[in-house]
Structure 1
């Protein structure tokens, strides 16, 4: 059967793409942030997963406020970056994975999830920045990607508990898929941050460290928060924790934390990084 070997929680800040594009990784502002990715890249190189399931949120590119699905999953052979600006140079398309994707889709519908199925879909920095971080030089085309988009922009949004349950359902679907594929799961975004309004620049690193702890030992404790709680505690965009919870839900067995990092602020965000290995 296919096997999920681990999960990675990572930032997807668009400014990261600019920093990599301009070779700024070693500058004082960025050095601590990028150094955290070295052990994660080494793990990926050692394990060499064939498939990545990436939980991300679309920032109004493909799914604007007039058409905002709660959950969407890609089933395309390829995904093109069509980001909303930032001056990033064109980057290679992302290689899709369709066979496992369709299996997951069928299993989700069978078990009472109803995702939007996208056989064509453009993607933004929510997906491409994490892939570029994991595979420097945009060398991510070697890994097949299944994008899973979670609404974190327009109310009503799925609850943390529902996102965790989605991850669990996807984890079970992968485990029931024939073959010996090695799969890694990425939860992107966050952690605490607010980009606009009266609390613009708000961070809560105490809560971020709590999240990093409980993602490992007690993820269900985090599912007891409402989205309104997360907005109050972690800022308006703190609901991106839901992608981390979906990632954690996919890891059905015991997990071991191999690495973590938190650098704040990075582009007005608490940029978390965490590597979990699925035992």
Structure 2
């Protein structure tokens, strides 16, 4: 059977992707940001995931005001980097896993979650920046990736409680897949930031680190936090952090299993006008 071996959490800031693509990772401003991901390179060589289920949000690139699904799983065979106005990022095409994606969709929909299934879509920085941060510069991504999009751009966004429950359903679906696969679930976006209005540039270090503490030790309690608290404390774009609860919900401990191990934790401000958070949790063996 497929197994979930780890969950990974990271910001997906577009400026990080630009710094990566333009060869600016060793500049004084960006060096501490990318140093936070040095751990990942050797860790991934040991982990060797077959598939990553990567939870992200589209930034009005593939979806628009014409159509905005709350939850969408990408069931196609491959996904090209999107042109977000400056040309597509020079990164590999994402290769999907249609069989596992279809299985997750079937199982989760039968658990009363209404998922949109998408067979053709281009993926923007919300998905490709985390891959670059974790894997570095590669000719091909070293594992298959199932993109899973969440609407956190246009009101109403799903609640943290709904995202946490969805993660639990995804975890059950993955573990019921009858092929021996090493699967990771990633939650992306955040941390605190606001891109517009009188509070533009808001960063809340204390709240961000408290969020990381609770994500590790009290995910069920954290899931009960209302959306307005994210906006008030972490800025209008801080709501992206509900996506981290999907990845956390997929871990075994929330269903009575052993507590995961904190393999890596990193926090840095600022990157562009955003706080950078990164966490890796390994399932107990």
- Fold equivalence (TM over 0.5): yes
- Larger mean Cα displacement after TM superposition, 18-27 or 202-211: 18-27
1:2-151 aligned at under 5 Å gives the runs 2-86=2-86, 89-151=89-151
Query: Contact conserved, 1:56 with 1:148, CA < 8 A, in 2?
Result: yes
Return closer, same or farther for 1:89/1:217 CA change in 2, 3 Å cut-off.
Answer: closer
Contact 2:192–2:203 (CA under 8 A) maintained in structure 1: yes
Farther-moved stretch of structure 1 (246-255 vs 108-117)? 246-255
Is contact 2:189-2:243 (8 Å) kept? yes
Matches of 1:108 and 1:58, distance apart in 2: 21
Shift of 1:126: 0.3
1:14·1:86 contact (CA, 8 Å) conserved in 2? no
Change (3 A) 1:98 1:84: same
| Aligned equivalent of 2:269 | 264
In 2, are the aligned partners of 1:57 and 1:152 still within 8 Å (CA)? yes
| Deviation at residue 155 of structure 1 after TM alignment | 0.8
Q: Which runs of 5+ in 1 are unaligned?
A: none
Counterpart in the other structure of 1:251? 251
> Whole-Å Cα distance in 1 between the matches of residues 88 and 64 of structure 2?
21
CA distance, structure 2, for counterparts of residue 83 and residue 263 of structure 1: 28
User: 1:225 is matched with which residue?
Assistant: 225
1:101 deviates by 0.5
Q: Distance in 1 between matches of 2:112 and 2:225?
A: 22
Give the Cα–Cα distance (whole angstroms) in 2 for the partners of residues 103 and 97 of structure 1.
Answer: 10
Deviations along 1:128-182, one digit per CA (max 9) or x if unpaired, are 1111111111445331111110110111110011011111100010111112100
Give the TM-score taking structure 2 as reference length: 0.95
Structure 2 regions of 5+ residues with no counterpart? Answer: 254-258
Shift, 1:88, TM fit: 5.9
The CA distance in 2 between the partners of 1:220 and 1:204, in whole Å, is 22
Aligned-pair Cα RMSD in Å: 1.2
Where 1:81 maps in the other structure, the secondary structure is coil
* Secondary structure in 1 matching 2:80: strand
| Aligned 8 A contact 1:15 1:86 in 2 | no
